[in-house]
Structure 1
Amino acid sequence: MLLYGPPGCGKTLMARATAGEINAAFFSVGLHQVLDMYIGESEQKLHKIFELARKSAPAVLFFDETDALAADRRDLRHSAGRNLINQFLSEMDGANSANDGLLILGATNAPWHVDGAFLRPGRFDRIIFVPPPDTAAREEIVKIHAKGKPLVDFDAADIAKRSDGFSGADLRAIFDQATEAALAEAMKKGSMIPISGKMLAKATKEVKPSTRKWFESAKNHALYANQSGFYDDVLVYLGLKKQ
């Protein structure tokens, strides 16, 4: 499965939760664990990662920033990058690849940069859009960030209503900014100042939703490069297509 959507909306968290729900080992793979400056070493590292996951089955093998490891080969100038992609394809669904008991998850902010060969059946054949949290989800995220903080006049529902389009990371930024404001006030008065609802409301106005820029780019791909219908969920979310 390939999870895609704006950054900061919980794709990595969903992958971890999936492993926990099915009681499977979890392997998270980053670029630094695969890429190597020497020719052939990257392919060897990738093979060893798959072999380790296979031996630990049932397991979830999670690739973050999948578009970097599975980039469209038409965009690559060097053969080394193509060789790594070919190795990745072979590990996922090659003649010598036995992936029974292995769930391969990928996450990306730019699915349109993933090589088309990864999107056929047997590879990333399920593509799931992970949108920004809705109002109810934002309220729960706000409550989590509020735990352990000195708060007065705190209204999670009010913050959730004010933060339409915010990602989970944006909501955290609201609390970070409000905390800084409370600390600055405390330094002036020489005593502890709790984080007030007004501080949080002000921070909500100052923090801009980071998802907007992503949707600007995603909208163009969904409208003009969506012959296969991969990005229909984006159009539905934006209100440009009926569900």
Structure 2
Amino acid sequence: MLDDAGLQALREAARLSPDNLPLRRHLAEQLLAKGYLADAEAEFRAALVLAPKDADITAGLAEAFVRQSAYGAALSALEPFLASPGYPPRLGIIAARALLGEGETGKAAYRYYEAISRDPSVADPELAERLTVATTGHSSPPPPPPPAAPPDSSEEEVERSKLTFADVAGMEAVKESLRVKLLLPIQQPELFAAYGKRAGGGVLLYGPPGSGKTHLARAAAGELGAAFVNVGLADILDMYVGSSERNLRATFDLARRNRPCVLFFDEVDALAARRSDMRQAHTRQLVNQFLAELDGVDQHANEGVLVLAATNAPWYIDVAFRRPGRFDQMVFVPPPDATARAAILRILCRDKPLAEMDFDAVARATEHLVGADLKGVVDRAVEVKLQQSISAGRPIPMSTADLLAAAKGAKPTAVREWLATARNYVLHANESGAWDELMPWIKGKR
């Protein structure tokens, strides 16, 4: 219930004139300005029905999401605008806040400084200070705005992950594989040196979308206390011939300068696809460059550089990447079972006001949901509790019933589709034995 007479009058006017777009927008902005975040969100949504492509209304909705810590929802709302060149700089500032809330420090810094380079009036000194602290670990004057073009790979931010394996629910076999392959050679170098094993190497994480591959890579860096470089396709791929290869080389050089370093390539199948499937010579050259960087100019070039890559489609990756010394270990990151889902829910809810919870009951009701889906369930439950808490004027603890209600509308993102594709490869295209690790899981899901 609103306790502001002016807002109550505006709301009543909007109720009587539901198609009055300026009135709805004004009401939403006033609600946002006075901190009625859930109400503001509802009004911005209603306004977007009337004007689906209005950037200002979208900005207001995203701002309401950010202030409720629903960072993923904010980025989803902004995404159609951010994908187009020349988007309003204000949207870039809001996106930077959401990305920072998601822990994507490098991307947040890029969005912020790109926005103020086009319109200095949208600068947010407080946000700039938070970005500086997040990227450097101490307070300092913000760097000058970069050019509007995306930053070169050599300018990528090196992160320091605060996550560890304790923040990764389940996946004990996967974590143990990473410890032996990547972490222990750096943590116990004398022992591994006695057997001629160097610190470094590559592991390919594969599994259905949303199963936690990126989260696992960040936790590996945090477990080691190493630098973390998160490489996306936009950091490497370039329209000009030769530029993609230079970006890739600069990325490896950045990791070598900051060793020990976890260098993480997401959606690596786009950079390491089978050369036999490529029609253009310059795309094959990018694969060759990737292989050369993994090998290094000498046997010690990549010592201390732990290369992790993630893909949903490992069967499309060139077989040369699985040669010893490259991505010689493939690790399946499965969808979480009921025990792991309960553990994920505990981690997602640990910093929120809670009543007595039965996470096992929620886990049983969320079969086939992966970590990203479970985060969406928690976010929806939190949004409902926020609205109730604002109306009550006090925090209302979240209960098992809230999570179960949010789970009812949740749909598995892509597990079933991925499973069908994986089954085809396991049963009909596994002459080399590359997919033997999937066999027990596939058979168990028939």
Please state which band the TM-score falls in when normalised by the shorter chain.
0.7 to 0.9
Does 1:20 pair with 2:222?
Answer: yes
Q: Which has the higher contact order (CA 8 A, sep 6+)?
A: 1
**What pairs with 1:1-243 in structure 2 (closer than 5 Å)?**
1-93=203-295, 95-96=297-298, 98-152=301-355, 154-182=357-385, 186=388, 190-191=391-392, 195-210=398-413, 211-239=415-443
AA matched with 1:212: R
CA deviation profile, 1:184-240 (whole Å, cap 9, x unmatched)? 7x49x9546654433322332321222222111111111111122222222211335
Following superposition, the deviation at residue 167 of structure 1 comes to 0.6
Distance 2:272 2:362 in 1: 38
CA contact (8 A) 2:296 2:302 kept: no
Distance 1:178 1:22 in 2: 34
Following superposition, the deviation at residue 152 of structure 1 comes to 4.3
Q: Which has the higher helix share?
A: 2
AA matched with 1:105: L
CA deviation profile, 1:109-139 (whole Å, cap 9, x unmatched)? 1101111111111111100000012222211
Indicate the structure (1 or 2) with the bigger Cα radius of gyration.
2
CA deviation profile, 1:4-50 (whole Å, cap 9, x unmatched)? 00111111121122122223222111111111111111111111111
Distance 2:303 2:353 in 1: 49
Distance 2:296 2:350 in 1: 48
Distance 1:59 1:152 in 2: 41
Q: Which has the higher strand share?
A: 1
Following superposition, the deviation at residue 84 of structure 1 comes to 0.7
CA contact (8 A) 2:359 2:400 kept: no
Distance 2:444 2:354 in 1: 40
Following superposition, the deviation at residue 166 of structure 1 comes to 1.7
Distance 1:93 1:143 in 2: 41
| Counterparts in 2 of 1:239 and 1:34: CA distance versus 1, 3 Å | same
Alignment RMSD: 2.4
Could you state the TM-score of these two structures normalised by the residue count of structure 2?
0.50
User: Identity across aligned pairs (percent)?
Assistant: 50
| Counterparts in 2 of 1:199 and 1:240: CA distance versus 1, 3 Å | closer
Could you state the TM-score of these two structures normalised by the residue count of structure 1?
0.88
- Stretch of structure 1 that moved more, 201-210 or 68-77: 201-210
Distance 1:232 1:205 in 2: 35
CA deviation profile, 1:118-168 (whole Å, cap 9, x unmatched)? 111111110000001222221121112223444446311211222222211
Following superposition, the deviation at residue 88 of structure 1 comes to 0.4
Following superposition, the deviation at residue 180 of structure 1 comes to 4.4
Q: Aligned with 1:171: secondary structure?
A: helix
Distance 1:78 1:176 in 2: 44
| Counterparts in 2 of 1:229 and 1:205: CA distance versus 1, 3 Å | farther
Distance 1:58 1:148 in 2: 31
Identify unmatched segments of 5+ residues in structure 1.
Answer: none
Identify unmatched segments of 5+ residues in structure 2.
Answer: 1-202
Q: Aligned with 1:238: secondary structure?
A: helix
- Stretch of structure 1 that moved more, 95-104 or 78-87: 95-104
